[in-house]
Amino acid sequence: MTTRVLVVGAGPVGLTAACQLARLGVDVRVVEKLAAPTTESRAVGVHARSLEMFAALGVLPRLEARGRRIAALQMSDGRTGHLRARMDLADVPTRHPYVLDVAQPDTEAVLTERATELGVSIERGVALTGLTQDTLGVDVTFSDGRTDRVGWVVGADGGHSAVRRLVGEQLHGSFQGQHFAMADVDIDTSLSRDLIHMFTHPDGMAMVFPLAGHRARLMFLVDGTDPAGPTMEQIQALAETRMGGRVQAHHPRWLTYFEVHHAQVSSYRHGRVFLAGDAAHVHSPAGAQGMNTGVQDAANLAWKLALVVRGVADEALLDTYQAERHPVGAAVVRQTTVLTDLGAATGLLGLLRDAVYFVAGHSRRVAAAAATRMAEITIGYPRGPLGVQRGGALPAGEHCPDPAELRDADGTPVSVESLLARPGFLLLTRNRSAQLRLGEIGTVIVLDSATDPLGLGDGMALVRPDGYLGLVSATADQEVVDGYLAAKIGDVAPASVRRPSALAG
Ligand SMILES: Cc1cc2nc3c(=O)[nH]c(=O)nc-3n(C[C@H](O)[C@H](O)[C@H](O)COP(=O)(O)OP(=O)(O)OC[C@H]3O[C@@H](n4cnc5c(N)ncnc54)[C@H](O)[C@@H]3O)c2cc1C
C-alpha cells in the first residue's frame, strides 16, 4: 500500500500542508480544481505567528517582496477624521511585530514555488469527486475520471469543501450574517500607507488595507447585495461618504459583495481524512484570522502526519490535531462573530463601542494585549495532550519564545525561527555534558552557556516542528526525552537508538 498523502486544494492551507509534509520527507501530491491560480485577493493580512512559520519554511523574504509591512491599526471617525483608537503592533512579542499586507494570489504563488522546490507535484484543473476509505487507505476519484489509492487525505478545499461532504461532515453555525462590499483597487490617498485604517460611520464601518505600491483593499459594511456586484461608482461613493473624501479609487481588479458566515465542523479527523482551513471553519474577515488560522492548522497537522506516514509515530498522535486545533477554530469563530457584531452596531450600542475603543485604544497596555491576540501570538496548547512540564521556566504547550538575545554555543546570535528551518524537533539545552540525542526525528541544539534568555537553566526544552513546546524539563536527561517520546509521540524506539536524521531540508 502506498503511504502517499493527497492534499485537496492548492489554496494557502493546502500549499502550506504540502510544503510542511514534503520538508519532513513525505511524498505529497496536490490536486486543485482551478486550471489557473485565482486572481481574487481574499486574505490580505498575514499575522506574526504565520510570519514566524513562513520564515522557518524559507518563504518570508519572497512574501515580504510582494507585500507591505503595516505598523498599526488606526480607527477614526469617518466624517471628521478624528482619531478614536490606535493599536500599534511594535509591542507584540515576536521577531515580526507587524502585519504583512499581501494579496492572497501572491501568497499562493510563493507557496507554490516553495512546494515545487520541495518536489511536491501540483496538478491543476483536477477536482476530487469521490472518496471512500478503509483501515489501510483511501480510494479517490477525480473529475478527469482517474482513480487512485492513497494513504491519507488532507481536505484543504475551502468553504465549499467536497472532502467535507464526502466524509459526511458538515459546518454547524450561522449562515446569515452581515454583508460587505469589497474592492481590490489602486488608490490615491492622503492616508498613511503603513497603517490599516478603520472608519466608523453611522451608515456602517469602512476599512482600507494598503498593499504593495498604490494597490489597496477597501471594505464597506452594507445593507444588502446586488448579484451584478458593486460598480466603481458605488465604491467611490461609499469611500467619499465614509472615509471623508480621503480615498480616490481607480484601476479595479476585483469588486464583489460577500456575506459573513460563522460555522465550524464537529470533527477535523475522519479516519484517514483530515479537514483544515476554510473546509473546517468559516467566519467573518474581522481581525484577518481566516487564512492565518488555516495555515496554522496545516502546520499543526503536517508534522504529526509526517511522523505517522514515516512509521515513526503511533496513529493516536493524529487525534491530537482535533484536540489542539478544534478549540482554536471555535474561539476564532466566537471572537470574529463578536467583533463583526460590534463593528456593525449602530445607535446607542455603536456609541458605546466607540467609547470602549477610545478608552482601550488610548491605553498602551490594553492596545498591546489586543494586538498580541490579533497576531495569534497568544495561541497555545497549555492544557493540551502533548505538553509535559517537568520543572523549568518555559511553559510546556505554549509557543517557544524567540528572544533577540539568543546565542548558539559559539556565542553567535541565532533565532528559534531559523533553527526551525531544520525539519523535525529541536531539543534546546545549554548543557553540553548531557550528550542528548534525537536520532532521526530532529536536532539537538546546544546554546550559549554564558547567557540564558530562554530560562533553560541546566535543563532542556523539546520544541515541536511547529514551534510549540512539547517537553520542558529542569534537567537535561536522555531518559526523560525518551520517556516523553514513547508516551506522547507513540510506541517508538528510544531516540538514543534511532538512525540519524534523513529529513528533506
Ligand atoms: C473578502 C475576504 C477577505 C478576507 N481577508 C482575510 C485576511 O485578511 N486574512 C485572513 O487570514 N483571511 C482572510 N479571508 C479568509 C481567507 O481568504 C480564507 O480563510 C482562506 O482563503 C482559506 O484558505 P483555504 O486554503 O482553506 O481555502 P481556499 O483559499 O478557498 O482554497 C481552497 C482551494 O481548493 C480548491 N478546491 C475546491 N474544491 C476542490 C476539489 N473538489 N478538488 C480540488 N480542489 C478543490 C479551490 O479551487 C481553492 O483553490 C478573507 C476572505 C474573504 C472572502
DSSP assignment of 180-242 equals EEEEEEEEEESS-TTEEEEEE-TT--EEEEE-STTEEEEEEEES---TT---HHHHHHHHHHH
Nearest atom of ligand 1 to the alpha carbon of 45? 8
The predicted structure's pLDDT at residue 501: 42
Question: Ligand 1 centroid vs 381 CA: distance in angstroms?
Answer: 25
Question: Ligand 1 centroid vs 333 CA: distance in angstroms?
Answer: 16
User: Rounded to the nearest 5 degrees, what angle is found at the Cα of 491, between the Cα atoms of 118 and 483?
Assistant: 100
Question: Ligand 1 centroid vs 112 CA: distance in angstroms?
Answer: 15
Question: Ligand 1 centroid vs 318 CA: distance in angstroms?
Answer: 24
Q: For residue 469, what are the contacts with CB-CB under 8 A and spacing of at least 6?
A: 387, 394, 395, 396, 397, 398, 399, 400, 461, 462, 463
Question: Ligand 1 centroid vs 37 CA: distance in angstroms?
Answer: 12
The residues facing 473 across adjacent strands are 390, 460
Grid cell of 439 as nine digits: 536520532
Return the biggest CA–CA distance within the chain: 71
Q: Where are the alpha helices (DSSP H) in 362-477?
A: 364-374, 416-419
> Are 205 and 284 contacting, i.e. CB atoms less than 8 angstroms apart?
no
Question: Using a 6 Å cutoff on CB, does residue 47 contact ligand 1?
Answer: no
The predicted structure's pLDDT at residue 271: 98
Question: Ligand 1 centroid vs 256 CA: distance in angstroms?
Answer: 15
What are the backbone angles phi and psi of residue 345, rounded to the nearest 5°? Answer: -65, 140
Nearest atom of ligand 1 to the alpha carbon of 289? 11
- Integer CA distances (angstroms), 236 to 75, 154, 344, in order: 20, 41, 20
The residues facing 275 across adjacent strands are 155
Question: Using a 6 Å cutoff on CB, does residue 14 contact ligand 1?
Answer: yes
- Is residue 17 packed enough to be buried (19+ CB in 10 Å), middle (13-18) or exposed (0-12)? buried
- Backbone CA torsion sign across 164, 167, 168, 172: negative
User: Rounded to the nearest 5 degrees, what angle is found at the Cα of 47, between the Cα atoms of 44 and 51?
Assistant: 105
User: What distance in Å separates the CA atoms of residue 193 and residue 181, rounded to the nearest whole number?
Assistant: 21
Question: Ligand 1 centroid vs 328 CA: distance in angstroms?
Answer: 18
The predicted structure's pLDDT at residue 492: 58
Ligand 1: which of 13, 68, 157 to mutate, most ligand atoms within 8 Å of CB? 157
Question: Using a 6 Å cutoff on CB, does residue 285 contact ligand 1?
Answer: yes
Nearest atom of ligand 1 to the alpha carbon of 38? 49
Residue with cell 464583489: 256
User: What distance in Å separates the CA atoms of residue 30 and residue 17, rounded to the nearest whole number?
Assistant: 10
Question: Using a 6 Å cutoff on CB, does residue 270 contact ligand 1?
Answer: no
Nearest atom of ligand 1 to the alpha carbon of 12? 25
Residue having the nearest C-alpha atom to atom 52 of ligand 1: 42
Question: Ligand 1 centroid vs 44 CA: distance in angstroms?
Answer: 11
Question: Using a 6 Å cutoff on CB, does residue 122 contact ligand 1?
Answer: no
Question: Ligand 1 centroid vs 249 CA: distance in angstroms?
Answer: 25
Ligand 1: which of 42, 68, 121 to mutate, most ligand atoms within 8 Å of CB? 42
Nearest atom of ligand 1 to the alpha carbon of 293? 11
The predicted structure's pLDDT at residue 504: 43
The predicted structure's pLDDT at residue 497: 43
Question: Ligand 1 centroid vs 375 CA: distance in angstroms?
Answer: 19
Question: Using a 6 Å cutoff on CB, does residue 9 contact ligand 1?
Answer: yes
Question: Ligand 1 centroid vs 288 CA: distance in angstroms?
Answer: 12
Question: Ligand 1 centroid vs 10 CA: distance in angstroms?
Answer: 9
Nearest atom of ligand 1 to the alpha carbon of 276? 26
Name the nearest CA neighbour of 50 among 103, 89, 91, 12: 12
Element (H, E) at 478: helix 478-484
Question: Using a 6 Å cutoff on CB, does residue 6 contact ligand 1?
Answer: no
Provide the CB-side half-sphere exposure for 100 (13 A, CA).
27
The predicted structure's pLDDT at residue 499: 46
Question: Using a 6 Å cutoff on CB, does residue 417 contact ligand 1?
Answer: no
Question: Ligand 1 centroid vs 11 CA: distance in angstroms?
Answer: 6
Contacts of the segment 378-384: beta carbons below 8 A, 24+ positions apart: 379/49, 379/296, 379/328, 380/468, 381/324, 381/468, 384/320, 384/323, 384/324
Question: Ligand 1 centroid vs 279 CA: distance in angstroms?
Answer: 9
Instruction: Render each residue's pLDDT in the chain as its tens digit; 505 residues.
Output: 454 999 999 999 999 999 999 999 999 999 999 999 999 999 999 999 999 999 999 999 999 999 999 999 999 999 999 998 899 999 999 999 999 999 999 999 999 999 999 999 999 999 999 999 999 999 999 999 999 999 999 999 999 999 999 999 999 988 877 889 999 999 999 999 999 999 999 888 999 999 999 999 999 999 877 878 899 999 999 999 999 999 999 999 999 998 888 899 999 999 999 999 999 999 988 777 889 999 999 999 999 999 999 998 999 999 999 999 999 999 999 988 777 777 776 776 777 767 776 666 677 788 888 889 888 899 999 999 999 999 999 999 999 999 999 999 999 999 999 999 999 999 999 999 999 999 889 999 999 999 999 999 999 999 999 999 999 999 999 999 999 999 999 865 555 444 444 344 4
The predicted structure's pLDDT at residue 260: 83
Name the nearest CA neighbour of 26 among 3, 56, 7: 3
DSSP 148-192: EEESEEEE---TT-HHHHHTT---EEE----EEEEEEEEEEESS-
Q: Where are the alpha helices (DSSP H) in 248-318?
A: 290-309
Residue having the nearest C-alpha atom to atom 13 of ligand 1: 43
The predicted structure's pLDDT at residue 361: 66
Question: Using a 6 Å cutoff on CB, does residue 294 contact ligand 1?
Answer: yes
**Strands, E assignment, 323-401:** 388-390
Domains of the chain in start order, with CATH, are 5-67+103-171+264-344 (3.50.50.60), 68-101+179-259 (3.30.9.10), 388-497 (3.40.30.120)
